Amino acid sequence: MAQPSDGAQQFLAMTLPSMAAGERCVWAITLGQDGDELIGIIELRADDGVSRDHRGFWIDPAFQRRGLMTEAAERVTQFVFEDLGWTRLWLTNAVDNIGSNRIKEKQGAELIEQIPGDFVSGTGMKALWRLTREAWLARR
């Protein structure tokens, strides 16, 4: 699928106001402790009690399949359960997104249902997962 030439700009235009409003946290994934080269992001959306889509992430294809998003997801999940005190996270992904499915499985998430969803690439089936603090702690 063709990528928009202004994708980064669109992302920032959408993200910065919602961060300022306290609706989401977005962490940059960079190379090394002092790195300033952005290779990905992971975000946490505020829990309004209704949304069942609390987390999003992506990483540059050149850096995929190195365990980096597993590491980032673990750190953010620790923040959610240990610092924020949430008891569960709702998570989604396209059903055929093998890497995203696998990260959820490894964290101890339970597949709840598959429902129609809208994606950047169009419509398709979406997997809905629930990760409880208990299940996550049991996997550590």
Ligand X SMILES: CC(C)(COP(=O)(O)OP(=O)(O)OC[C@H]1O[C@@H](n2cnc3c(N)ncnc32)[C@H](O)[C@@H]1OP(=O)(O)O)[C@@H](O)C(=O)NCCC(=O)NCCS
Binding ligand X by CB under 6 A: which of 27, 64, 95, 132? 64
Binding mask 75-94 for ligand X (x = CB under 6 A): ------------------x-
Token pair recorded at residue 46 = 């505020």
By beta-carbon proximity to ligand X, the closer residue of 18 and 97 is 97
Other C-beta atoms closer than 10 Å to the C-beta of 103 total: 22
| CB-based contacts of 67, cutoff 8 Å, min separation 6 | none
By beta-carbon proximity to ligand X, the closer residue of 53 and 85 is 53
CB of 81 to ligand X, least distance (A): 19
Which of 31, 23, 88, 93 is closest to 57 using CA atoms?
Answer: 93
Residues within window 99-128 making contact with ligand X, judged by CB under 6 A:
99-100, 102-103, 106
C-beta of residue 14 within 8 angstroms of C-beta of residue 43: no
Specify the DSSP element, H or E, that contains 6. none
| Number of residues near ligand X (by CB under 6 A) | 18
Residues at the site binding ligand X, with contacts judged by CB under 6 A: 57-59, 64-70, 93, 97-100, 102-103, 106
